[in-house]
Structure formats: structure tokens, C-alpha cells
Amino acid sequence: MSALVLTGAGVSIDDVAAVSRNADKVEVTPTVIERLGKARKVLDEAAAGGQQIYGLNTGLGANLVTAVEGDASAFQRQLLEGRSAGVGEALPIPTVRAAMFARIAMLAAGGSGLSPHIFTALVEALNAGVHPVIPSLGSIGDGDLVLMTAIARMLIGEGETDYQGRRMPAAKALTMARLAPVSLAPKDGLSLINASAVSTGAGALTLIDALSALAQQQQAGALTMEALGANRTILDARQHLARPGACQQVAAKALRELLARDDAPAATTIQDPLSIRCMPSVHGALIQAIDHARLAVEIELNAAADNPLVLADDAVVMSTGNFHTVSLSLAFETLGLAIAQCAAACAARFIQLTGSSRHGLPKYLSPVGGASAGFVPLQKTVTAILAGIRHKANPVMLDFLPVSEGVEDLATQALLAVAKCAEMIALWRRLITFELMAAAQAVDLREGATLAPATAAIHTAVRAHVATLKEDRPLGVDAEVLYASLAGGTWRGPPATG
């Protein structure tokens, strides 16, 4: 397993997935450590010169006007203890690893003034698999500091951790991993927690899942087109040059490749329903939304958004509002709407496949007819799932209350926007499951049907998990099996094309 080398720039969502889900190790170049040391020196000199520095020699939030007296290092422990206010179920370990890595990537940019040995300790804890237990509730988006305290407290030997599959005190986990608790210098505690690393790390994983689901949706849509004998002129590149909507040329090209064959069949209709005819537009808009969200996430991963910010080259320490992640939140709100539109089209195609016999297929896709229910009961399940997606598509980034005596009177709810987007992807993938099942059944029922090489591979992949329906049986059970393959990474559709 090759290590991921951090230079302070160029971190991608794929890097986050590699570290969080594949447990790749992280290495840091000497240049990063030098950058951190330079920023720390600037910070210490500014404090020694009497500059008021937020969170170093002043209190936080509404306590901004309160000077920190006595042991400034002890105050760093105090602010961690006092802000450990998260509650709820613990975040999954991959999300915790994503948050740890996201904070490491941000810190590597050098704007925090964090002591280099604290940075190194965080990298070592991640590589050793010492994972703090991070609660899921407590972030309002402007820095996930209430949740991030779990990471900082783990480094000083406080709180609970997951290590080697067991829950245990952080001090014990560090000892077992042959690591030692760290001592915090002034501002180190704030530097560790005052960042949107949970939102950014979770956002990166959500985008990886969105890309996976999109590829599966393209496959399901292509198989539906085969099953219904859809008019393929909707994929003609000239159409999409005439109206170059958001990435719809990219989506149409991918569908053309999935349907490519030497002897393309003639269309059975002049125009198909909109859920089929508009697939390139719908999928293209989603591709653009994913690209925009990726940009927002990768800006955060590679940025020094600290407050206060240390500009080492200019020997300046200044207060900022760079932690306000409105672009990140807006990107995921937009992505959620794009997913909802794509999911609605997927559900509509399922209804087209299973709802009538006007397309020349047996009613309800039942080979026995009569009183057979066939696939039609799943229409209720599809409708219920789509309702859940539509509900989650409602925006949340304006839902906040002024806190800390009105000093913090604005928030972005970035983590909530990311979380509901992730939930929507999971529900959307269930709709993709149903479309794949129905399209495969329709292919089996269409006499003399032949498929393109790629769609034949998709059909074979469905049939590896779900048998053809020959008489009524519990299709929900079949759907769970296929969904587990799609969501769990074992799905084997056609080879990816360029």
C-alpha cells in the first residue's frame, strides 16, 4: 500500500476516500513541517509583542473581550473541555478518518500557527488507527468546533476512542498504539478545532458516493432504453451541441457508449416519455452539480481557513471570516436538488416499465398475467422512497439561531446539508435498484431482444443477484440483495469507458 504524501496543496476527494475507506497511510514532506514552524514563530512573536489574538490571549465567542490570564496553555485544555458539547450517535469510523485527514490537509497549508509536534501527533494517530468517538450532532456549519473537540481531546489523552475494533479511553488507545499524549501550546487547542473538517471530510465521501450512484444510474437508464426500444435520437451529439446544457453532452456520450452496437434496432416510438427523452439533460445537470461541489470541497481541503489566520510570509496574524462555509453548503444544497430530479426521473421510468402494457410488454411485467401482482406493488415502495428524497431536498442552510450573545449570528449548516445529501444518495440508489430489476425483467420478456455488449453486461450483473420473475414472490427481498451490491462496492457492471 503506497502512502499519500502531503505537500500542503493538491488534495482531492479521492485522497480523502483512500485514507478514510482504504486506510491508506499519510506522509508529510519536510516543507510542510518547515511551513508550520515558520507560522508558529510568527504567532509567538505577535503574542509576545502584545497583540490581542483571538483564542490565544482572549476568550472565545462572546468572551472575546475577556483577557486570558495565567497559564495560556491550561486555557487551551479548558476551551476543549468547555466546548465538548456534541451529542447523538457516533459518526462512522470512515467519516471520523475523513475528518481527521481533512484537518491535516488544511493544517498543512500553514495558516493556523499550530505547533508542528501537534500536527505530527495528529498524523501519527490517524496512521495508527486511533479514532476519537465523534458525536454526530452539534455543528452549525461555521467551523465544526463542537465536534472537532473530540479529535483534539484524543490527542491530549482525553475522551473515548475506537481502536482495533474496541471502544476505550483515549489514553489507553494511545499507549497501545505506542503514542504519547501531547501538551498544548497557546492557541493549539483552537487551531485543532476551529475548522469545518467534519463537513469537508464527509462532503468528500458523499461526492465519491454520488459519482458511483451516477454511473449506476446511467447503466439503469441505458438498460431501460433497451427494454422499451426507446428512440435513440435523444443521444445524437448534434442535439446537445444545438443546446449545450449543463454537461448534457457528457451524459449523452456516456449513454451512447453503453448502448453502442453495430446493429442498433429501430425505435418503437417517435418520442418517449420525458423521463427517458430528457435523460441527458437530467444527468448532465447532476454531473455539473457534482463538479461544483467537488470544487467547493477541494477548496476547503487545501485552504487555510483558520481564525485567526497566520500569514507567515508577511509576519501577520489577523482575524478572518474564512471559516464561513456558505459556498460549501450551497453546493450541497444544489447537489441535493439535482439528485432529487434524477431520482424522480428514475422513479418515473420504473412506473413506465411496470404500469401498463402499452409498450408491448406484459402488464406489470408479470409473465403469468391474470391476477398476478408482478412488479406493480413496488410502485408504492418507489413512491415512498421518492417522497423521502423530496423531503430531504428542502434547503437547511438558512435554519439557524444567533448564538453566543449574538456574536455568532450567522451560520451555514454545512454539515447538515452534506448529511442529508448523503441520505438522499442512499435512497436514490434504492430507486436505481428497482429500475435495474424492472428493466432486466422487461428485457427477459421482450421476445427476440438483443442487447449491446455493455447493456448485456448490465443485465448479466442484475441476474447475478436477482432471478427473472416467473411467478409472484417477495421482490423486496430481491431488491435488498441487489441494493447491497450497488451500495457495497461489489456491483460489476460493464467496464468503464473513456
The tens place of each residue's pLDDT in the chain, 498 residues long, gives 678 999 999 999 999 999 999 999 999 999 999 999 999 999 999 988 989 888 787 878 778 777 787 787 788 998 899 899 999 999 999 999 999 999 999 999 999 999 999 999 999 999 999 999 999 999 998 889 999 999 999 999 999 999 999 999 999 999 999 999 999 999 999 999 999 999 999 999 999 999 999 999 999 999 999 999 999 999 999 999 999 988 999 999 999 999 999 887 777 788 999 999 999 999 999 999 999 999 999 999 999 999 999 999 999 999 998 889 999 999 999 999 999 999 999 999 999 999 876 678 899 999 988 888 999 999 999 999 999 999 999 999 998 888 887 778 888 999 999 999 999 999 999 999 999 999 999 999 988 889 999 999 999 999 999 999 999 999 999 999 999 999 998 998 887 654
Cβ atoms 347, 382 nearer than 8 A? yes
Tell the residue number behind the cell numbers 482572549, with chain if given.
58
Asked whether residue 191 falls in the same domain as residue 210, the answer is no
User: Residue 325 corresponds to which amino acid?
Assistant: T
Q: Give the residue numbers spanning the domain of 375.
A: 203-488
Q: Which residues are CB-contacts of 332 (< 8 A; sequence separation ≥ 6)?
A: 203, 206, 293, 296, 414, 417, 418, 421
Pairwise CA distance, residues 311 & 109, whole Å = 10
Q: For residues 176 and 214, state if they share a domain.
A: no
Give the model confidence (pLDDT) of 405-418 as tens digits. 777 888 899 999 99
Closest by Cα among 19, 225, 179 to 105: 19
Query: Does 210 fall in a domain?
Result: yes
The reply to whether 248 falls in a domain is yes
Claim to verify: residue 178 and residue 214 sit in the same structural domain: no
User: Is residue 362 domain-shared with residue 282, that is, in the same domain?
Assistant: yes
Report if residue 493 sits inside a domain. Answer: no
Q: Tell me which of 136, 163, 195 is where a domain ends.
A: 195
Query: Distance between CA atoms of 484 and 429, rounded to whole angstroms?
Result: 10
Degrees to nearest 5, angle at CA 98 with 32 and 55: 60
Q: What backbone torsions phi and psi does residue 25 show, to the nearest 5 degrees?
A: -80, 160
Residues 128 and 162 in one domain: yes
Q: Which of 163, 195, 227 is the last residue of a domain?
A: 195
104 and 223, same domain (yes or no):
no
Reference 11, options 152, 201, 193; nearest CA is: 201
pTM (two decimals)? 0.95
Residue 495 lies in a domain: no
496 located within any domain:
no
Q: Are 305 and 195 in contact (CB under 8 A)?
A: yes
Same domain for 331 and 390, yes or no, is: yes
Same-domain check for residues 188 and 218: no
Cα distance between residue 426 and residue 209, in whole Å: 9
- Which is nearest to 52 in space by CA: 427, 392, 240, 318? 318
Same domain, 268 and 314: yes
Does residue 207 share a domain with residue 180?
Answer: no
Say which amino acid occupies 408: E
Clarify whether residues 188 and 65 are in a common domain: yes
3-state SS, the chain, equals CCCEEECCCCCCHHHHHHHHHCCCCEEECHHHHHHHHHHHHHHHHHHHCCCCCCCCCECCHHHHHCECCCCHHHHHHHHHHHCCCCEEEECCHHHHHHHHHHHHHHHCCCCCCCCHHHHHHHHHHHHHCCEECCEEECCCCCCCHHHHHHHHHHHCCCCEEEECCEEEEHHHHHHHCCCCCCCCCCCHHHHHHCCCHHHHHHHHHHHHHHHHHHHHHHHHHHHHHHHHCCCHHHHCHHHHHHCCCCCHHHHHHHHHHHHCCCCCCCCCCCCCCHHHHCHHHHHHHHHHHHHHHHHHHHHHHCCCCCCCEEEHHHCEEECCCCCCCHHHHHHHHHHHHHHHHHHHHHHHHHHHHHCCCCCCCCHHHCCCCCCCCCCCCHHHHHHHHHHHHHHHCCCCCCCCCCECCCCECCCCCHHHHHHHHHHHHHHHHHHHHHHHHHHHHHHHHCCCCCCCHHHHHHHHHHHCCCCCCCCCCCHHHHHHHHHHHHHHCCCCCCCCCC
C-alpha–C-alpha distance, residues 120 and 99, integer Å: 16
CB 149 within 8 A of CB 80: yes
Same domain, 288 and 222: yes
User: Strand order in 131-132's β-sheet?
Assistant: 131-132, 160-163, 166-169
Predicted confidence at residue 55, as pLDDT, reads 78
Residue 26, beta-bridge partner list: 4
Number of domains in the chain: 2
Domain assignment of residue 393, yes or no: yes
498 assigned to some structural domain: no
Phi-psi region of 489 (alpha: psi -120 to 50; beta: other; left: phi over 0): left
**pLDDT given at position 369:** 87
Q: What is the pLDDT of residues 212-266, one digit of tens each?
A: 999 999 999 999 999 999 999 999 999 999 999 889 999 999 999 999 998 877 7
Instruction: Provide the CATH number for the domain around residue 38.
Output: 1.10.275.10
Q: Is 388 within 8 Å of 381 (Cβ atoms)?
A: no
Residue matched to cell numbers 402499452: 358
Q: Which of 195, 225, 260 is the last residue of a domain?
A: 195
494 part of a folded domain: no
Instruction: Tell me the CATH number at 455.
Output: 1.20.200.10
**Per-residue confidence (pLDDT) for residue 496, from 0 to 100:** 62
User: By the 8 A CB rule, do 190 and 409 touch?
Assistant: no
**What is the identity of the amino acid at 419?**
A
How many C-beta neighbours within 10 Å does residue 229 have? 19
